[in-house]
Chains A and B, each alone.
Chain A
Amino acid sequence: MEANNLNVIVGEGTCGIAAGSKEVIEAFRKHAPEMNIRTVGCVGMCHQEVITEINDGNGNRHIYGNVTKKTVPSIIKFHKGEGDLPEDQLIFSPDNQDLDKWRYLAHQTRIALRNVGYLDPTSISEYQARDGYKAIKKILADMTPEQVIEEVKISCIRGRGGAGFPTHVKWNFAKQSEGDIKYLICNGDEGDPGAFMDRSLLEGDPHNVIEGMLIAAYSFGASKGYAYIRAEYPLAVKNFGKAIKDAHELGVLGDNIQGTNFSFDIKIKEGAGAFVCGEETALIASIEGDRGMPRFKPPFPAIKGLFGKPTIINNVETLANLPWIINKGGKAYASHGTEDSKGTKVFALAGAIKKGGLVEVPMGTKIRDVLEDIGGGSSSDKPLKAVQLGGPSGGCVPENLFDTTIEYAAINATGAIMGSGGMIVMDESTCMVDLSKYFLSFTQNESCGKCTFCRIGTLRMRELLSKICDGHGEMEDIEALEELTEQIKKSSLCGLGQTAPNPVATTLKYFRNEYEAHIKDKRCPAGVCKSLITHTIISTDCTGCSLCEIQCPVNAITGQKKVKGSYVIDQAACINCGMCFEVCNSKAIKVE
């Protein structure tokens, strides 16, 4: 095969870059300068990054995973007809489309993510080649705003940011309200630690989000749009900015789009790091330049929002579904999913899971199917214990409820929420009390401070959880946590406070025995809480390699190099940081 007829496509989302895509590209340039190289966003198989596709222009595709600069030469050799197929890296080839690795994508139904990983996000023509901007042209030529809203009503799509409010109802509010100017805000702040679908969409398929914004804007008459993007996502800001510029040049953004009297423009506002800005009114305050503090509703933003004008805020993933819905029809979208929840939902799989990444499945899929069939199950030898859904506003679903179907009502019934779709998978090595403490520290930090129960209540909860983790807990503390859970929920103005106690509530519901082990037995079953564990060296297993001594940050480990079993830990100096456990190759460190 002639190498100069070959195209190399490298996945270069933030996760691809973290895995070393820059070095891989450099290696291709060095070893096969004649090959055409292009980059795409993350296809979602983050566990196999760096992912590289080689195709010959006739549609013959070979996709490889875990590519490094060292394995690039063997891939090039094979495609030049000079070597064997690097089978262990192969994800997909014309001869083998049923590889276990490929099934990760084959099990999914990709609507929002349909282009991510397939197109160069900086190329508007590649987006057009995949039906890009067809939907906005169609509605400008053939559809009234009412018809657009009707189509979205038929699709039954609900907001994918977390709350799940029906999208068409929101638009109708704004459509009916009076205002010389109306705003549309794309919420790309994605404050939930553990969810990264918005990042992937913004950096991997920005035109799709822009087209979604155009559709939404047309439906209720917005002329100005803001894309509020986290500053922690520099690649998303860059790619989205370029996409706005290119869309202007193509004439699908700006004044009198496609010769009609519909005008719409988008400005990027970089978020400055505040979880509370996921709340609509706080986000509006932030764009207005103020501290992101929520305010009482009503008036709802749809009536009185940004700069006092009618404003709609839609999440990135919601918007990314809209062009598909217009092109294929609301019915086609609603044919996926269940009675309660239609369409598909993107999940971000991470934690103790073999195949972490982005997954888009029809609503109604079982949690277990996502974790086992797609995610490949536990990444350690230990069985899975729980999955955390919905981030700091959500809760933990224990393993015995993994047959719960993914739909709004069923998930809510477990005490968790759908949220924006983060799924943090946990095995026995996660301590549920420590996890609750982590979330409470997060919400306590992120509370804007306006409501007393949210400001002080979350602090008190965190203190109680710290007390339990430190081994000073008493059984009354559990009652106090339950009492605070109720009070904070009832007395907070916005979603942050109303949901902040959820991680504690669900872990108390399903893992009360772990709280009790901390309080009654002064023991952390997962071996996480530093005050309740000790690290010791099993002398018969110690090889005397001295790695633990080198790594110990507090010089608590001493021994004689190359003398088996000579190393000991000074318990008084040990801070239980776990560095020795991590570096020991002979599993000689015992954690109790």
Chain B
Amino acid sequence: MSQSLEAKVEPEVVLDWINKIGSDSSSTVPLLQAVQSKYGYLPRVAMDLIIQNSDISGSQVYGVATFYSQFRLKPVGRHMIRICHGTACHVTGADRLDTSLRHILNITDEEQDTAENGSYTIEQVACIGCCSQAPVLVIADEVSGNLTGANAQRALKKHAKKNEEIVANI
């Protein structure tokens, strides 16, 4: 993972969340959600700031962060691609969306989910509740449905063009 994707965390922003959301253990999930919605993942610095400035213990923070599938500890690319792997999407070919997008983003290593140039991160999600349009994916915040591998690539190319991102294998 390239170092440049690590987010710069401003301590005062995190302290402000602790003030607003709460500093007891029942605030763990919403605090981590706030961190992730800003940085796209949970930077270690932000987690440490929470542990040092609230009543929430380290084991609580890390226990929660690793339990829920929403949270991730690795940095993300500039844009998120969420590929739905709900049942309807599975039986209608979600796998092909994965294969085709990994192909054009040149993400070959199975352990890797972000393109080398830091443009896109592919994430598999359990269900986005759009089953009647399966298979479905979300690029940034835009949902597209009834996809084949080939038109998933078209959707990504369109997004890349608009956002001046370079997609490796076109």
Contact = CB atoms under 8 A, between A and B. Distances in A.
A273 B68 contact: yes
Interface in B117-152: 125-134, 136, 141, 143-146, 148-150
Interface residues of B, number: 52
Given A195-B129, A424-B88, 15 more contacts: A46-B132, A196-B127, A272-B33, A272-B69, A273-B70, A274-B67, A289-B29, A349-B132, A350-B134, A358-B132, A553-B100, A577-B95, A578-B93, A578-B149, A579-B149
A290 B126 contact: no
Contacts of B149: 551, 577-579, 582-583
B5 to A, nearest CB: 22
A510 interface: no
Given A231-B70, A272-B70, A582-B149, A193 B86 contact: yes
A14 interface: yes
B44 to A, nearest CB: 19
Nearest to A526: B91
A501 to B, nearest CB: 17
Interface stretch (A15-23, A69-77, A338-346, A409-417): A15-23
B126 A193 contact: yes
5 contacts: A198-B129, A232-B126, A272-B69, A273-B125, A577-B99
A348 B88 CA distance: 10
Interface in A138-194: 190-194
Contact of B96 (A19, A270, A352, A579): A579
A508 interface: no
Interface in A546-592: 551, 553, 575, 577-579, 582-583
B102 interface: yes
A391 B127 CA distance: 11
A190 B131 contact: no
Contacts of B141: 234
A233 B33 CA distance: 14
Given A194-B86, A270-B33, A290-B28, A578 B131 contact: no
Contact of B148 (A232, A348, A582): A582
A577 B148 CA distance: 12
A49 interface: yes
Contacts of B145: 15, 18-19
Contacts, number: 177
A272 B87 contact: no
Contact of A192 (B92, B102, B127, B136): B127
A402 interface: no
Interface residues of A, number: 64
Given A49-B133, A551-B149, A274 B91 contact: no
Nearest to B92: A351
A551 B96 CA distance: 11
Interface of B: 24-30, 32-33, 56, 60, 63-64, 67-71, 85-93, 95-96, 99-100, 102-103, 125-134, 136, 141, 143-146, 148-150
A357 interface: yes
Contacts of A287: 26
A193 B67 contact: no
A443 to B, nearest CB: 11
A231 B33 contact: yes
Contact of B103 (A391, A430, A439, A553): A553
Contact of A292 (B68, B93, B96, B130): B68
B99 A553 contact: yes
Nearest to B125: A232
A275 B126 contact: yes
B91 A351 contact: yes
Contact of B132 (A357, A575, A579): A357
B87 A274 contact: no
Dominant secondary structure of chain A at its interface with chain B: mixed
A579 B99 contact: yes
Contacts of A445: 69
A511 interface: no
A350 B88 contact: yes
A499 interface: no
A348 B91 contact: no
Contacts of B25: 288-290
B102 A553 contact: yes
Contacts of B85: 193
A391 B131 CA distance: 12
Contacts of A291: 63-64, 67-68
A67 B150 CA distance: 23
A304 to B, nearest CB: 17
A286 B103 CA distance: 37
B133 A46 contact: yes
In this complex, the member of A286, A288, A358, A424 whose beta carbon has the largest number of chain B beta carbons within 10 angstroms is A424
B150 A14 contact: no
Interface in A314-365: 348-352, 356-358
A395 interface: no
In this complex, the member of A47, A287, A292, A351 whose beta carbon has the largest number of chain B beta carbons within 10 angstroms is A351
B129 A582 contact: no
Contacts of B86: 193-194
Contacts of A242: none
Contacts of B136: 18
Interface in A190-247: 190-196, 198-199, 230-234
B46 to A, nearest CB: 16
B68 A356 contact: no
A117 to B, nearest CB: 14
A271 B149 CA distance: 30
A435 interface: yes
A533 to B, nearest CB: 13
Contacts of A435: 87, 90-91
Instruction: Identify the 10 closest CB pairs spanning chains A and B, nearest first.
Output: A193-B86, A356-B132, A46-B132, A553-B103, A272-B68, A350-B131, A193-B127, A196-B129, A350-B88, A273-B69
A445 B102 CA distance: 22
A52 interface: no
A583 B87 contact: no
Contacts of A196: 127, 129-132
A426 interface: yes
Contacts of A271: 70
A350 B100 contact: no
A388 interface: yes
Nearest to B126: A193
A18 B130 CA distance: 8
Given A18-B136, A287-B26, A579-B99, A438 B90 contact: yes
Nearest to A391: B87
A230 B91 CA distance: 23
A118 B71 CA distance: 36
